[in-house]
Amino acid sequence: LLCVICVGMNVARASEARILRMEPLPQDGQLTMDLDVALDLSRSVLDVAEHGVPLYFTYDVQITAPRWWWFDKVLVQATLSRRLIYNNLTQQWRVATGDLFLPAATQEDALQVIKQVRGWPIAPVDRFEPNVKYEGKVRIRLDTSQMARPLQLDARNRGAWAMTSPWATFDFSIRRAEPAK
């Protein structure tokens, strides 16, 4: 019985993620999104990152307008990718969004940057009618399709690499601007 318990404890744990908070905000003519995410990466994924293999995390958001006569109309589909990189030579973690690199002192600091998104521009505000309720959903996933090809094949065979949060739903409306008095 003890052997069975020990073997069960060594089974690779899958990575998990979930959206903790999402807040759509209109700012400067753009609809922006603030997100807080809980990430629990498996030891095998963290080991690969510590050996210098970049990890790609992709946030997906979809906003729809309900229609009574047909399927909901998709107004916005947006993605944001962040890359987690460890440089073995300098022993420094970096998080990249596009061409912007942000250095981090530790792995925990780098993951904290991945876990928080602030002011992500989703769409122009004029795409939405004032005082109409819109529905949206957001998720985060470990995007193995952006990794090197040999690692993509290996990642498909491991459950530890399959990390996608469930869709978290939200609703919002854009308020009509009050006329100045």
Question: Can you tell me the mean pLDDT for 3-10?
Answer: 38
Mean pLDDT of the chain: 84
pLDDT band at 151, cuts 50/70/90? low
Output the pLDDT for position 36: 96
Q: Which residue has the higher pLDDT, 67 or 25?
A: 25
Tokens representing residue 173 in the block: 């409306």
Output the pLDDT for position 145: 77
pLDDT band at 3, cuts 50/70/90? very low
Number of C-alpha atoms within 13 angstroms, CB side, residue 79? 10
CA distance 100 to 22: 23
Residue range 56-68, pLDDT digits in tens: 999 999 999 888 7
Residues in the chain: 181
Distance set, CA 85 to CA 93, 99, 114, 145, 179 (Å):
6, 13, 11, 16, 49
In sequence order, the 6+-apart residues with CB closer than 8 A to the CB of 14 are: 42, 159, 160, 162, 163
Q: Which residue has the higher pLDDT, 159 or 58?
A: 58
